[in-house]
């Protein structure tokens, strides 16, 4: 009889394409090498990068099938030689480019972050990536200042809601126009301080901004005049908004473009060439290892210790297909996490 090989449940991407290609599978329990940490996973985090990875964007270089998931939380159950900063029993978050949606995951020690006492393993997944991105969006890229007017797309999403909280909790007198896609989301962002709330399924956000903040001054004949509109657009959706945002961004305003939830679209700068708008297509990848990145990590740590935290939506791991379809359709609210295993008290 062959020796027994322990196996673990995982979510694999069987092939690139639709959510139908996400399948429950089994693989051997991974073993840590020197410098690596093995984590018994409680929850896997869902974010837009998982949609991109399944669709093979920006690359399909990795052969399928492979284990999906780029973030997880759980408890360290084994460490390899030369691991000095992590111990068995530690509650941690794992950040990786794949393999996180499994009962056990092995990663280098550098990809493991501690979970503060009192923060649940489900709750913490809303922060290491999403809050870091929101920090970049508001503080580093958008450079939102006191007294400014800001247009925030996907304001009830995993990044958008945290960006809204940063502006309302940490920056004085910011007027936020929050764009959402349902009444439930409208109620959520209003409760978090949004000043103008637009349900894009029933209302044209350009018309609503012009009605509430006034029309912007645009074109050659208006000179340096600014008029109404917003100083900054924080746009994580792209698609058709790449055409409509310039209609509300004031002269000398700023336009942060950091995602493709509504499609990739195209920019025609001839429509706003006289307005002096700074267009900034950004990704957090470009900031890895920089002083701004380290400041963002410190910001996340401080936020987890001092702020009221969001409660994520928790779904069973087996519902991953439905969860990704909902995220793709813009039907999710806040952070979504997948329950991998019940690790009991303290998890």
My answer on whether 227 and 329 are in the same domain is no
Range of the domain at 110: 7-127+310-339
Reply yes or no: is the peptide bond before residue 65 cis, omega within 30 of 0.
Answer: yes
- 292 lies in some domain: no
Pair 61, 145 in one domain: no
Distance CA 308, CA 335 (A): 15
Do 78 and 17 share a structural domain?
Answer: yes
Q: Which residue has the tokens 């995220």?
A: 327
Same domain (yes/no): 279, 326: no
3-state secondary structure string across 173-197: CCEEEEEECCHHHHHHHHHCCCCEE
Which residue in the block uniquely carries the two structure tokens 């909790």?
169
Collapse the DSSP code of 156 into the 3-class scheme (helix H, G, I; strand E, B; otherwise coil) and give the result: coil
Pair 238, 149 in one domain: yes
> Domain boundary residue among 249, 271, 286?
286
Residues 267 and 138 in one domain: yes
- Short-list 344, 183, 346, 327, CA closest to 260: 327
Closest CA to 331 of 344, 313, 316, 317: 313
What predicted TM-score, i.e. pTM, was given to this entire model? 0.93
Helix axes 160-170, 183-191, angle to 10 degrees: 30
DSSP letter string, 110-153: GGEEEPPTT--TTGGGGSTTHHHHHHIIIIIIS---TT-EEEET
Residues 73 and 203 in one domain: no
For residues 259 and 281, give the distance between their C-alpha atoms in angstroms, rounded to a whole number. Answer: 9
Where residue 329 sits, what CATH number does that domain have? 3.90.180.10
164 occurs within a structural domain: yes
H/E run at residue 295:
helix 291-306
- Co-location of 224 and 122 in the same domain: no
In sequence order, which residues have a C-beta less than 8 Å from that of residue 8 and are 6 or more positions away? 26, 27, 28, 29, 30, 102, 103, 104
Tokens linked to 108: 């280098």
Residue 53 burial (10 A CB sphere; 0-12, 13-18, 19+): buried
Q: Which residue in 61, 71, 77, 116 sits closest to 95, CA to CA?
A: 71
Let me know if residue 346 belongs to a domain.
no
Under 8 Å between Cβ of 136 and 143: no
Cβ pair 39, 77 in contact under 8 A: yes
- For residues 238 and 226, give the distance between their C-alpha atoms in angstroms, rounded to a whole number: 24
Is position 26 within any domain? yes
In 214-277, where does DSSP find H-type helix?
Answer: 241-244
Same domain, 165 and 245: yes
249 and 202 inside one domain: yes
Residue 301 located in a structural domain: no
Same domain, yes or no, for 55 and 199?
Answer: no
For residue 230, being part of any structural domain is answered with yes
Q: Which long-range contacts (CB under 8 A, 24 or more apart) does 206-212 make?
A: 206/244, 206/247, 206/248, 208/177, 209/151, 209/177, 209/248, 210/248, 212/177
Mean per-residue pLDDT of the chain: 94
Is 328 inside any structural domain?
yes
pLDDT along the chain (347 residues), means of 10: 71 97 96 97 96 92 96 97 96 96 97 95 96 98 98 96 98 98 97 98 98 94 92 96 97 95 85 94 93 97 96 96 94 95 73
Contact assessment for residue 197 and residue 190, using Cβ atoms and an 8 Å cutoff:
yes
Q: Which two tokens stand for residue 115?
A: 């979970």
pLDDT at 2: 55
72: its two tokens? 């997880």
176 and 253 in a single domain? The answer is: yes
- Total domains present in the chain: 2
Task: Confirm whether 59 is domain-assigned.
Answer: yes
- What's the CATH code of the domain at 263? 3.40.50.720
pLDDT of residue 5: 56
């Amino acid at each position: 009889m062959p020796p027994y090989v322990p196996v673990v449940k995982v979510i694999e991407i069987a092939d690139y394409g639709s959510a139908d290609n996400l399948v429950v599978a089994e693989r051997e329990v991974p073993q840590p090498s020197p410098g690596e940490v093995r984590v018994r996973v409680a929850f896997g985090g869902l974010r837009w990068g998982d949609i991109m990875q399944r669709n093979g964007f920006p690359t399909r270089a990795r052969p399928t099938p492979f284990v999906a998931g780029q973030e997880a939380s759980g408890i360290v159950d084994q460490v390899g030689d030369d691991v000095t900063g992590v111990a068995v029993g530690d509650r941690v978050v794992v950040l990786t480019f794949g393999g996180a949606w499994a009962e056990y995951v092995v990663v280098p020690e550098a990809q493991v972050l501690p979970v503060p006492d009192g923060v649940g393993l489900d709750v913490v997944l809303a922060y290491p990536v999403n809050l870091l991105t929101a920090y970049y969006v508001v503080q580093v890229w958008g450079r939102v200042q006191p007294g400014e007017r800001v247009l925030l797309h996907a304001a009830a999403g995993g990044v958008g809601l945290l960006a809204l909280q940063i502006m309302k909790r940490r920056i004085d007198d910011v007027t936020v126009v929050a764009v959402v896609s349902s009444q439930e989301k409208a109620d959520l962002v209003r409760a978090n301080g949004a000043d103008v709330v637009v349900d894009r399924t029933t209302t044209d956000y350009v018309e609503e901004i012009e009605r509430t903040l006034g029309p912007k001054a645009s074109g050659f004949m208006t000179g340096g005049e600014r008029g109404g509109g917003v100083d900054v657009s924080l746009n994580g959706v792209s698609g058709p908004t790449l055409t409509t945002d310039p209609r509300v961004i004031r002269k000398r305003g700023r336009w942060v473009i950091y995602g493709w939830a509504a499609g990739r679209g195209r920019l025609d700068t001839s429509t706003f060439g006289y307005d002096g708008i700074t267009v900034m297509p950004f990704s957090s990848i470009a900031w890895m290892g920089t002083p701004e990145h380290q400041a963002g990590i410190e910001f996340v740590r401080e936020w987890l210790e001092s702020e009221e935290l969001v409660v994520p939506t928790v779904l069973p791991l087996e519902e991953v297909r439905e969860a990704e379809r909902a995220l793709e359709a813009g039907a999710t609210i806040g952070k979504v996490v997948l329950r991998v295993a019940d690790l009991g008290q303290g998890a």
